[in-house]
Structure 1
C-alpha cells in the first residue's frame, strides 16, 4: 500500500509499506478515506520532538475491510472514526475513563503501527478502539467533522472539560490553531456565555467567532493579561484553556485565570513551566493532558450528526497523498490551519 513515511526532520515522502493484515483475533483492517496532518506532526517534522522512522499520522476515518474472529461490534463496510490512540477498553486506566493512557495501547503512525496518512491501517483492539458511525450517505461536510473527532475536537473538548466550564462562564482560549478553535466550540457547547479567543490571524478570528467566540484579542504577554483583567473587572476568567504548549501560552493562561479557577492545558509542552506561586497563592489549578478521545467521541458524534457542531471547518487545505509534503509545509507556513488528506473514495 501507499503511505506517508517520516524519514527524519524535514523528510516527508510517500512510499510503500506492506499491506496490513490481521495479526490477532481482536484486530481490524480499515481502509482510510480521510486523514489529516496534526500540529504535533509538525513538531516531528521540525525535529523538535522524536518520532520513529516510518509511518506517520494518527487521525483518520475509514471503512472496515476485515475483522478478526473475536471482533463482535464491527463488520466489513462499517464507517468508523478512529481515535488517535488505540486502547483495549479493559485495563485499569481504560476502566477509569483514561483511554488515552491505556496500559496496552499506543498511538497510530508511530513505532511501526500503521498511520492515518496511508491507505490502510491495522487497528488493534478494534471493538474497544473504533467508533462506528450510524447511517450512511453522509455529506462531505459531515465527513470532515467526523475526521475532526479523531483528535482535535476531542482534544479541545478535553481542555474545556478539564477546566470545569459551567453554564454562564467567562472563558479564554489561548491558541488559535485547530485545537484552540475546537476548544471554542467545546466552551460554547458546555454553556459558556463569554468566550475570549486570543488570535492575530484574521481567518482564524472569523472562524472563532463562527464557533462562538464573543471577543477577539490580539495582544500578547503583559498586554493581554492587563486587557483581559480589565475586561473581567479585575477578576480574570472562570476558565483558561491552554491550547499551544509554549512557555508564553502557559504563562498567559495562568496570568488571566481568576482565583479558584482551573487552567485546562492540552498543548504539547515545549519549555512551558507551571507557575507554582500562582497555583499556591491564587488557588489556580491545572488539569488536562492527553485527551481520552475514545471516551468523548460517542457524545460528540451525536452533535456532529445532528449538525449542532461543525468542527470540520478547521480544514482549510485539501490534497491527496501525492501532495502530502505541501500539506505539512502549508501548516508550517500558516497558509493552512489544518490540512486534510483525501486517501480513498467512499464511506
Structure 2
C-alpha cells in the first residue's frame, strides 16, 4: 500500500509499505477514505519534536472496515467508521472513567502502528476504538467532511471548553486561531456561552471564528493582545481555552484569565517553560484543567449534533489533497496557507 512517511524535517514522502494484517483477534483492518493533516504534525515536520525517520504519519482516520478479528463485535466488513487519534480498549479503569487517552492497553497511530495518512490501517482494540457511522450517512460526502474533525480537532476544542468550565451565559476567551482554536469557538457556543472572544493573528481564520460564533476577535500580538482581551472582558475571563501549546500562548491564556478563573489547555506542548505562566496563574489563583482530549468519550454526543445538522466544523478544511498531495498539504499548513488540510484517498 501507499502511505505518508517521515524522512526528516520538512520531508514527508509517499512510499510503499506492507499492507496491514490482522495480528490479534481484537484487530480490524480499515481502508482509509478520508484523513487529515494536524497542526500537531507540524511539530515533527519542523524538527521541533522527535519522530522516528521512516515511520508512517497521521492520526485522523475515517474509512471502510475490510476485515475484523474473531473477537470483534461492534463493527463488521463494509461498515463506515472513524477513529479517534488515540487507540483505546474501552474496558480498562481509565476507559471506564472516560479518560481513553490514558488507556492501559492503548496507543497512538503512526510510529509502530499504521499511520493514518495511508491507504490502510490496522486498528488494535477495534471495539474500543472505532466509531461506526450510521449507514444512511455512509456515502454522504458533506456529512463525512463534517464528521472527520471528530477524530481530533473538534473533540479537542470541545475538551478545552469543557475543561475551562464553559456553560450557558458565560464569556469565554479562545487563544489560538488554528483548527483546534476555531473548533474551541464552536464548542464554547455549543455549550451555551453568551460571548466568545477569539484571539489570533490571521484575518482569514478570524473570519471562520466569526462564522463559528465568535462575538469579538483580537488580532493584536503579545502584551497588546492580552490587554485588549482584558479590556473586552472588564478585567479578564473566567473561562479561557488555550489551543496552541506554545509558551507564548500559555502565557497569554494566564494573562487574560480572571482571578479565580480556569484555563482549559489542549494545545500539544512544544518548548513550553512553566515558570512564567504558572507564576501568573499562582498569583491569581487560576485553575489549569485539560490535557490530551479523550475523543472517544465525546464523539458520540458530538456526532449526534453533526448528524442532526446543528454542528458543522467542516469549514476548517481550507484545502483538500489526494494521497500523493500530502507533502504539498504539509507545506501549505507549515506556510499558514491552509487552516487544515483534508486528504481524500481512493484506494
Range into which the TM-score falls when normalised by the shorter chain: over 0.9
- Cα displacement string for residues 160-186 of structure 1 (whole angstroms, at most 9, x for unaligned residues): 111111111111110000000000010
Name the structure 1 match of 2:252. 252
- Write the distance in 1 (CA, Å) between the matches of 2:293 and 2:223: 30
- Write the distance in 1 (CA, Å) between the matches of 2:90 and 2:310: 28
- Aligned pair partner of 1:309 in 308, 311, 326: 311
Structure 1 residue runs of 5 or longer lacking an equivalent are none
Name the structure 2 match of 1:328. 330
Moved over 4 A (4+): none
- Please state how far the C-alpha of 1:7 moved relative to its aligned partner: 1.4
Q: Do the aligned partners of 2:195 and 2:215 also contact (CA within 8 Å) in 1?
A: yes
Name the structure 1 match of 2:75. 74
Name the structure 1 match of 2:212. 211
Question: How many residue pairs align between the two structures?
Answer: 343
Name the structure 2 match of 1:40. 40
CA RMSD between the two structures: 1.2
- Please state how far the C-alpha of 1:222 moved relative to its aligned partner: 1.5
- Write the distance in 2 (CA, Å) between the matches of 1:25 and 1:300: 30
Q: Do the aligned partners of 1:251 and 1:273 also contact (CA within 8 Å) in 2?
A: no
- Write the distance in 2 (CA, Å) between the matches of 1:286 and 1:322: 41
3-state DSSP class of the match of 2:320? strand
- Write the distance in 2 (CA, Å) between the matches of 1:122 and 1:269: 28
- Cα displacement string for residues 105-132 of structure 1 (whole angstroms, at most 9, x for unaligned residues): 111112x211111001000000010010
3-state DSSP class of the match of 2:161? helix
- Please state how far the C-alpha of 1:230 moved relative to its aligned partner: 1.6
Name the structure 1 match of 2:271. 271
Q: Do the aligned partners of 1:263 and 1:286 also contact (CA within 8 Å) in 2?
A: yes
Q: Which moved more, 1:196-205 or 1:275-284?
A: 275-284
3-state DSSP class of the match of 2:6? strand
Q: Do the aligned partners of 2:36 and 2:341 also contact (CA within 8 Å) in 1?
A: yes
- Write the distance in 2 (CA, Å) between the matches of 1:59 and 1:172: 27
Using structure 1 for the length normalisation, give the TM-score: 0.96
- Please state how far the C-alpha of 1:136 moved relative to its aligned partner: 2.6
- Write the distance in 2 (CA, Å) between the matches of 1:38 and 1:225: 27
Name the structure 1 match of 2:283. 281
